[in-house]
Amino acid sequence: KQEVTQIPAALSVPEGENLVLNCSFTDSAIYNLQWFRQDPGKGLTSLLLIQSSQREQTSGRLNASLDKSSGRSTLYIAASQPGDSATYLCAVGDSGTYKYIFGTGTRLKVLA
Amino acid sequence: GAGVSQSPRYKVAKRGQDVALRCDPISGHVSLFWYQQALGQGPEFLTYFQNEAQLDKSGLPSDRFFAERPEGSVSTLKIQRTQQEDSAVYLCAGGTNADQPQHFGDGTRLSIL
């Protein structure tokens, strides 16, 4: 059974810092991995999608990497801003069923 | 609309009542997923539709939960004889196909008293 773990559970950093959020999964048979942002009381906003054949994706200040063999993904946020404060969720797409298995998220607070 | 729309945004019901939650996906989105998100947790899969066909309902927690998508567009998640443990945010997501990015609605926050 696929299990997804995110470390750390919470993170507080001063504005301007570069930071790394970690996601690990137990079964490498995935078809993609997606990073989401969730603001309080809101749904999920897709940040980056990495297909299983890809190693990384970039969008603006965000870079996500995928190492399927080791069951790891990282989300790198450059030059963090207070507006980046949110919960970041990692989800792996299960091969064959297409459902997403989510981690419990990292709650990020960027201090001005 | 441009995004996935869910209604109502908030629903309060007494234990034992039946509730119905609605999802209006983006036009043309073939795949539709329902997830349940408990407080402080990540979403958990409930069920998946490809057009009107319910291909996976393995995540539905009990036979009190029922989902339908009769015309392959709007979907309804129904919970019968609600219990307190059903309190959660129910999220709907859709995509152009099962292996494409999923676009999420803002969810329905269900509170059972």
Tell me which residue of B29, B21, B33, B26 sits closest to B89, measured CA to CA: B21
Q: Tell me if B42 and A104 make a contact (CB, 8 A cut-off).
A: yes
Tell me the residues of B at the A interface, defined by beta carbons under 8 Å apart.
4, 6, 31, 33, 35, 40-45, 48, 56, 58-59, 91, 93, 98-99, 101-107, 109
Give me the percent of chain B exceeding a pLDDT of 90.
84
Tell me which residue of B108, B82, B101, B90 sits closest to B29, measured CA to CA: B101
> Which residues in chain A have Cβ-Cβ distances shorter than 8 Å to B91?
43-44
User: How confident is the prediction along chain A (112 residues), in pLDDT tens digits per residue?
Assistant: 899 999 999 999 999 999 999 999 999 989 899 999 999 888 899 999 999 999 999 999 999 999 999 999 999 999 999 999 999 999 998 877 778 999 999 999 999 9
C-alpha–C-alpha distance, residues A10 and A47, integer Å? 19
The bridge status of strand B65-68 relative to strand B53-56 is: unpaired
- CA-based nearest distance A86→chain B, Å: 13
- Residue A64 near residue A57, CB atoms below 8 Å: yes
Q: Tell me if A98 and B91 make a contact (CB, 8 A cut-off).
A: no
Tell me which residue of A61, A38, A63 sits closest to A48, measured CA to CA: A63
Q: What is the reported pLDDT for B59?
A: 94
Q: Which positions ≥6 away from A107 have C-beta within 8 Å?
A: A9, A10, A11, A87
Q: Tell me if A104 and B40 make a contact (CB, 8 A cut-off).
A: yes
Q: Which chain B residue's Cα is nearest to A43?
A: B106
C-alpha–C-alpha distance, residues A87 and A44, integer Å? 9
Q: Residues B58-105: pLDDT tens digits?
A: 999 999 999 999 999 999 999 999 999 999 999 999 988 767 778 899
Amino acid, single-letter form, for residue B75: S
